[in-house]
Structure 1
Amino acid sequence: MRRSPWATLAVLALAQFIVVLDVTIVNVALPDIQADLNFSADSLQWVINAYTLLFGGFLLLGGRMADLLGPPRVFIGGLVLFGVASMVAGLANSAEFLIGARAAQGLGGALLSPAALAILTVTFAHGRERNIAMGVWGGLAGLGGTLGVVAGGLLVDALSWQWIFFVNVPIVVVLIALIPVFVRDTRHNENRGRTFDTAGAVLSTAGLLAVVYGVVRSEPKGWGSGEVMFFLIAGVALLAAFVFVEARSKAPLVPLRLFRSRALSVSSGALALNGAGFLSMFFLTAIYLQQVRGDSALEAGVHFLPMGGAAIVAAVLASQLVQRLGTRTVQLSGAALSVIGLLLLSQADATGSYTTQLLPGLVIFGFGILGVGVPAQITAVSEVEHHEAGAASGVVNAMYQVGGALGLAIVTTLSITRTTEAIAAGVPQQQALVEGFQRGLLVAAGFAIANAVLTLASPQLQPDAEQIAEATVAA
């Protein structure tokens, strides 16, 4: 039976759509989730971080498993896990239950996302058709992030927060039914002798979880407490063990030789800082809109739309501008716009107008975040061998997720600390929340400033259209 490649693309893009959707759809539901499940202010961020850490931590292992077992099998396995975890998340009756389900969702996404991309790259021949397919893939993924906040608002206001998870289940069922019809097996026999390097994935993810947990616990316990120091030291030790294992592995999850490339190292750092700024801004602003300004979940979602539209336009412009101005110039401009956007947002108070206090910052930040992301992805694969471009891009994509989780932990901790201090000093709760929001965004702006400084060390490249397309495919 002849399978239409465009029908295959539709199946794959829909799967990627829901994976990206689940990063943003949760944000506008956070106040309702906090109230129903009695989340503390410092633990609420784990609804986001459990997903992003597991997704980023196991992304490379998911790609390796797709190589060895065949992308369709891993794709189906990831979909099943994602669907079951979504159902469990919707049924959660405690904070711990929901965090565990979100972690399982992240693991499912880490399996299905690279497997879907592997299927796509062998379905379309190198050249114009593959570039069109990758454009559709990337566009729908971006659209998932933008529409997630609106879809989340609609579901929360019309039904309940549980439905932001339940909605995934029928989509997953339909996708699993369509896979045998539209997706062919692409496993290669020569990969059967390779290993998974599960130890690498477990050590890196456990280390990151320990570090993030230590940062989060610093707010109630203090940085010098035994509990905080234990988790920070344990996290560093686990990450050191990860480097030790990878350096001696015959089939490492992360080939450490890749980091000899200045372009890859700088791009990894840039995307980690980009993720830190983005997730922090999204988390803080979603709570500010609802708990300070009194927006409904749907209103909060709609208020994010201009930022999503700006990011989509920025992705198109950045792809064109790197050919004329060079990658470093565009990336530096994007970092500068991110700083400006975050500083503008940090000036918002409890009574100001959305149009004057929030909209300019959201739009400018939307342009900035993709102004960094597009050239950084191109630069990341510029100095590595062609056969390692996929691994290099996998590294920077994982760094984006991991940087986002760690940045969110730092920003949220400092934000909550400021709010707590203000309340203790007799400041009304509403104003105390505003002060915490403002400090958090100033810290996020600090990440963007660090990104601008780091970008100065990035090589200046002026890729042609084909090189940009190849970098996009690798991503």
Structure 2
Amino acid sequence: MSMVQNNEERRSSSPTIVEGVVGEAKGMDGETNENSGREDMEKVETTQTVQPGPVAPTTHAMPDRPVLSKKRKMVLLLTFSVAQFLDITARSGVVLFVEDISRDLNIKYQVSTWVLTAFSVPFAAFLLFWGRVADLFTAKTTFVYGFYVLGVLNLIISFLPNKYAYFILRALSGLAASATIPSAYRLIVAIFEPKEVGGAIAIFTLTGAFANASGLVLAGFFGFIKSTNQLAGWRWFFRAMTVIAIPFAGLAQALIPKIPGVRATQAEKWRQFDLIGCSIMLFSNLLLILGLTLGATYGWKTAKFLVPFLLSWPLFIAFFFWERKQPALSALVPSSTWRVPNLALYLWLALCVFGWWGAIQLPLVEIYETVYHESSIISAVRMIPMGIAALVPMLFLPKLLPILRPYSRWFISFTQIVAASSLLILIYSRGGDIHNNGYWRYQFPAFIVGSFINAMAFLTGSVLVVTSVPPSMSGVASALIQVAYQIGIVVTISIQAGLLTIHPGSIANFSNVQASWWFQFGWCLLNAILALLFLQRPPPPPTPAAAIPVKPDAEA
């Protein structure tokens, strides 16, 4: 009887979950609200007095999950996917404009890689930080304002006449973009039914894979603009990003129900925020990515590479020592996290998966433009098969994932072997020749097979990571896998940049490109072996909190 009464009391205090969707949810009379509020505070205080010890973060009291109409959930999923599409396009699309931006802003060739990495470095470094914010506080606010700021900063960047202002604002836009990824994962887990979560995450995840190639195509259309100064094509590209971002951010603000973080007072949330742990991880990621980027630009024996790269590792070690001493509810990445089956191995595998696209796209686009003198739009169009192939798994894989879950070891090993085989096609593609049917005979099938199978590995790993942890950790878990993806592509590009200079001629000497692809080939095979030997049978997805219905009239 007391259990039923407690459940009724909990339901009576939870209408604030849907507060702010369109109008404020109506409460009960003042006395009832006051009593239920006092009871909730007593529950929080009781929870806070318990020493968590080694208990995993599943003891977080999570808010109830609102039940939304299917149409509304699909619109929200579209909004989350558009946010990720813009985040990835902000990096992949700019590849076509590196030369134009460098010329217009007087950026020297030696530092031209920062046209790209000024965005990528803070984007990867801040993912864990925003994941913690989304888990503890409110994922809606994190997502919406990150989306708004991204749109506004892109508009400002489109008018900048100075390279230093460009680098600073691109870095800030990367910081804002990183807020949308873990918060979107957190919202998907909170909004969708348990049986729908896997499919929703699959669609959201594949949007990133699709953006890798389609972002180039979108940028290629703006490459047709031959004007200069404030009417240059790259400036209109950034303005287009704003035109897309701002309306969807407004849509998100209107439709996302208010889903607070863990049930605790604001003071308790700040104590659980682990600001020291966040700072150590932030600077270690920042130094590692910065070192790899500077190494690719200035050389691997220079102090510009060695100093940040070597400093990052003591910080990583210090982070894990610090986290071991923190209570489970307060740690950014509690030690119990690493006891989640396969998590550490998933993160290692993720380093290679996302880099597969970068290892192929970057050298080939430059070869098309500098060796074969093709326009930017033609170079981008050649990459379309890669983007389409990455989308195909979205049509069937979400339904197959529950069946494939017990056999993930074999499936992921298979995907890595096929991804490595697709690189062999490119390595022996007659010197990368695109004439005399060279593109259709070698590159096209490699794009289709490799991108299709790599997207399946990308999707499977992302879904398994997020669905293997408690809902209270979904933000940090998604941030961990995204950090691995972003660090992986930086590592791939940095190592590739060094291998492209082994022989004279740089990108024009195809033997240099072959060397970089041989490295990626070996990495894929290593992943296949590791998955086959060490991946365990993944646990079933955890059961989320009970749902609270949203009245139809509140969804209008």
Partner of 2:269: 194
Q: SS where residue 61 of structure 1 aligns? A: helix
Match for residue 403 of structure 2 among 294, 312, 323: 323
**1:263 is aligned to 2:338:** no
Partner of 2:287: 210
Partner of 1:336: 417
Q: Deviations over 1:381-416 (max 9, x none)?
A: 67655654554343222211122222222222322x
Displacement of 1:160: 0.8
CA contact (8 A) 1:266 1:457 kept: no
Partner of 2:44: none
Deviates more, 1:239-248 or 1:136-145: 136-145
CA contact (8 A) 1:62 1:114 kept: yes
Greater C-alpha radius of gyration: 2
Structure 1 runs not aligned, ≥5 long: 424-428, 471-475
Q: SS where residue 294 of structure 1 aligns? A: coil
Deviates more, 1:246-255 or 1:303-312: 246-255
- Aligned partners of 2:147 and 2:340: how far apart in 1? 35
Partner of 1:473: none
- Aligned partners of 1:382 and 1:119: how far apart in 2? 13
Q: Structure 1 residues 457 and 97, CA, compared in 2 at 3 Å: closer, same or farther?
A: farther
Which structure 2 residues correspond to residues 100-111 of structure 1 after superposition, within 5 A? Answer: 100-111=168-179
Q: SS where residue 444 of structure 1 aligns? A: helix
Q: Structure 1 residues 245 and 269, CA, compared in 2 at 3 Å: closer, same or farther?
A: same
CA contact (8 A) 1:150 1:302 kept: yes
The amino acid across from 2:425 in the alignment is: L
Deviates more, 1:13-22 or 1:145-154: 13-22
Partner of 1:50: 118
Partner of 1:85: 153
Partner of 1:184: 257
CA contact (8 A) 2:79 2:248 kept: yes
The amino acid across from 1:422 in the alignment is: P
Q: Structure 1 residues 81 and 367, CA, compared in 2 at 3 Å: closer, same or farther?
A: same
CA contact (8 A) 1:71 1:118 kept: yes
Q: SS where residue 215 of structure 1 aligns? A: helix
- Aligned partners of 2:108 and 2:115: how far apart in 1? 12
**1:409 is aligned to 2:494:** yes
CA contact (8 A) 2:420 2:521 kept: yes
Displacement of 1:222: 4.8
Partner of 1:426: none
- Aligned partners of 2:247 and 2:487: how far apart in 1? 31
The amino acid across from 2:255 in the alignment is: F
Displacement of 1:108: 0.8
Q: Give the percent of matched residue pairs that are identical in Structure 1 and Structure 2.
A: 21
Displacement of 1:168: 1.7
- Aligned partners of 1:136 and 1:430: how far apart in 2? 35
Partner of 2:360: 281
TM-score by length of 1: 0.83
Q: Deviations over 1:297-329 (max 9, x none)?
A: 111221111112222224556553783682122
Match for residue 305 of structure 2 among 192, 204, 228: 228
Match for residue 33 of structure 1 among 101, 118, 134: 101
Question: Which structure: greater helix fraction?
Answer: 1
Match for residue 242 of structure 2 among 135, 145, 169: 169
Match for residue 440 of structure 1 among 512, 516, 520: 516
Displacement of 1:163: 2.2
Q: Structure 1 residues 374 and 123, CA, compared in 2 at 3 Å: closer, same or farther?
A: closer
Deviates more, 1:235-244 or 1:268-277: 235-244
Q: SS where residue 333 of structure 2 aligns? A: coil
CA contact (8 A) 1:56 1:110 kept: yes
Match for residue 147 of structure 1 among 214, 217, 234: 214
**1:59 is aligned to 2:130:** no
- Aligned partners of 2:296 and 2:379: how far apart in 1? 27
Displacement of 1:122: 3.4
The amino acid across from 1:339 in the alignment is: A
Match for residue 386 of structure 2 among 307, 311, 332: 307
Displacement of 1:275: 2.3
Partner of 2:318: 241
Structure 2 runs not aligned, ≥5 long: 1-21, 24-67, 226-231, 545-556
Report how many residues are paired: 458
Tell me: higher relative CO, structure 1 or 2? Use CA pairs within 8 A at least 6 residues apart: 2
CA contact (8 A) 2:185 2:475 kept: no
CA contact (8 A) 2:393 2:456 kept: yes
Partner of 1:160: 233
Deviates more, 1:85-94 or 1:150-159: 85-94
CA contact (8 A) 2:119 2:170 kept: yes
